[in-house]
Amino acid sequence: MEQQYTLIIGGLIIPLFLLTMKEIFTWLKDKNLQTTDNKIHKMKDDIESVKNKMERLDYKLDGIYNMNKTMFEWHDKSDEDGVKIWYVRRSLEEALQENVKAINILAKNSEVQTRLLEDMVRQNKEISKDQMILSKLLERLIDKQ
């Protein structure tokens, strides 16, 4: 009889155990699907966020590209001599041109002064020669008297 009770208890417990396990696995499966759905939803949100950030970054990069292009165009302009305009201020260029004119005037004045000094030296030499000749003539005159 003990065996019969064991079989009856075993016959009742095993199906109850199996039903309980089935319910547990069904609950876990549903929970796992919910978790997976939540993960997929979160991943979609994250991807959307990254997409938005990439679009903003693309917009900013376009702005930087345009600023860079504009700056390049500014720096790429040259004057008639091929000098980049960006690097030479107009007032500095004009001041340098005025300095060149002033130096040319000084050079011409220096040439004139040099010619005058050369003429003065030549005249002094002639005067010295004339004085020597006069001096010799005076000596002769004095000697004859």
Per residue in 83-115, pLDDT (tens digit) is 777 766 777 778 889 999 999 999 999 999 999
What distance, in Å, lies between the first and last C-alpha atoms of the chain?
A: 193
Q: What is the pLDDT of residues 29-70, one digit of tens each?
A: 776 666 666 777 888 888 888 889 898 988 998 899 999 999
Q: Residue for token digits 């065996």?
A: 3
Enter the pTM of the model: 0.36
Question: Can you give the C-alpha Rg of the chain in angstroms?
Answer: 56
Does position 21 have pLDDT exceeding 70, yes or no? yes
Alpha-carbon distances of 72 from 64, 80, 81, rounded to whole Å: 12, 19, 19
**DSSP 8-class letter at 131:** H
What does the block give as tokens for 2? 């003990």
Alpha carbon distance 89, 101 (integer Å): 19
Q: Cβ distance 75 to 84 under 8 Å?
A: yes
Q: Cβ distance 66 to 72 under 8 Å?
A: no
Alpha carbon distance 56, 110 (integer Å): 69
Position 83, amino acid: V
Q: Cβ distance 86 to 77 under 8 Å?
A: yes
pLDDT of residue 12: 66
What does the block give as tokens for 12? 């009742």
